[in-house]
């Protein structure tokens, strides 16, 4: 069951055409661009993929199309999560997991469950899920932090919970997880700017947005960090910080979609309530990418 999710994973956007329909040619271009860029695994249907504004049928079509184009060349992770535990389990029970190596499942948003509620939520998901599970802690979006203690409890109690994408930004919390985690449980950065520091503390990779802007450079930075080649890793890390700063200031994935348009991979349309970035920001990113 388990795939070692290490190195650079990419939280892929969902490309749209001008009429806001799904741009499958753009999605194919993106997959090929990332594989050619040397990333280690691909993630679909996350926040960056605008899953919140996709219909059930669109999600199924995107996942099926992505599986066919990836064709086993890289591990493939699909976002399946939410704040209704029963609905998440029902989705798992009706999903065809052929060609899917793991799910990325976010800690419940909006409900603000207790730590015991978060544990029971993922316990139910674990018992239903036939593939590996990557937990996702992102309190900036969920308004609820999954504590180090809850993460470690889940990691120890359920064999198919194999990793966490940690985007709390709380380095002390992350260090507690890294220190006490069971063998084989992977910690992945969920914050592009903190990826190298987290790798140097013991994380084994990232699920990245920025890697779509510069896949070769970002994935090589992670590889050099994992090898302990600090001078080479730092030389790749610092030039990307200004890009990262500008990616998110007017919303995600509007910033990274602008980068992909600049690179000629796909267009930069987003669905409401998101809107595209300002012309000023676009020109700033264009300058940084060239």
Rounded to a whole number of angstroms, the CA Rg of the chain reads 18
Q: Cα–Cα–Cα angle for 184, 188, 194, nearest 5°?
A: 145
Q: Which of 33, 136, 269, 282 is catalytic?
A: 136
The residue among 59, 129, 58 whose CA lies nearest residue 90 is: 129
Query: What's the CA gap between 116 and 120, in Å, rounded?
Result: 6
Residue 282 designated active-site: no
Cα distances (angstroms) measured from residue 52 to each of 9, 260, 284: 21, 21, 28
Phi, psi (5° rounding) for residue 132?
-65, 155
Q: Which residues contact 143 (CB under 8 A, 6 or more apart)?
A: 109, 110, 112
Q: Which of 6, 59, 165, 181 is catalytic?
A: 165
Q: Which residues of 68-100 are buried (b: 16+ CB within 10 A; e: fewer)?
A: ebbeeebbbbbbbbbbebeebbebbeebeeeeb
Residue 238 designated active-site: no
Which residues are identified as catalytic? 136, 165
């Amino acid at each position: 069951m388990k795939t070692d999710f290490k190195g650079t994973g990419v939280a892929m956007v969902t490309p749209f055409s001008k009429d806001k329909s799904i741009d499958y040619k753009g999605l194919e271009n993106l997959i090929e661009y990332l594989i050619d860029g040397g990333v280690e695994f691909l993630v679909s249907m996350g926040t960056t993929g605008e899953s919140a504004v996709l219909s059930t049928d669109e999600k199924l079509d995107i996942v099926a199309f992505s599986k066919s184009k990836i064709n086993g060349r890289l591990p493939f992770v699909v976002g399946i999560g939410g704040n209704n535990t029963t609905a998440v389990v029902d989705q798992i029970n009706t999903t065809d997991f052929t060609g899917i190596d793991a799910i990325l499942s976010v800690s419940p948003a909006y409900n603000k469950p207790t730590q015991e509620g978060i544990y029971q939520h993922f316990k139910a998901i674990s018992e239903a899920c036939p593939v590996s599970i990557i937990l996702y802690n992102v309190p900036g979006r969920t308004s609820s932090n999954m504590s180090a203690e809850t993460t470690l409890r889940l990691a120890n109690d359920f064999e198919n919970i194999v990793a966490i994408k940690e985007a709390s930004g709380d380095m002390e919390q992350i260090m507690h997880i890294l220190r006490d985690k069971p063998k084989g449980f992977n910690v992945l950065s969920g914050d592009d700017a903190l990826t190298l520091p987290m790798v140097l503390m013991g994380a084994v990779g990232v699920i990245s947005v920025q890697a779509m802007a510069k896949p070769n450079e970002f994935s090589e930075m992670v590889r050099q960090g994992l090898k302990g080649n600090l001078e080479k890793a730092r030389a790749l890390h610092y030039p990307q910080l200004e890009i990262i700063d500008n990616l998110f200031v007017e919303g995600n994935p509007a910033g990274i979609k602008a980068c992909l348009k600049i690179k000629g991979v796909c267009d930069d349309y987003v669905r409401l309530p998101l809107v595209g970035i300002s012309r000023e920001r676009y020109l700033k990113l264009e300058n940084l990418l060239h």
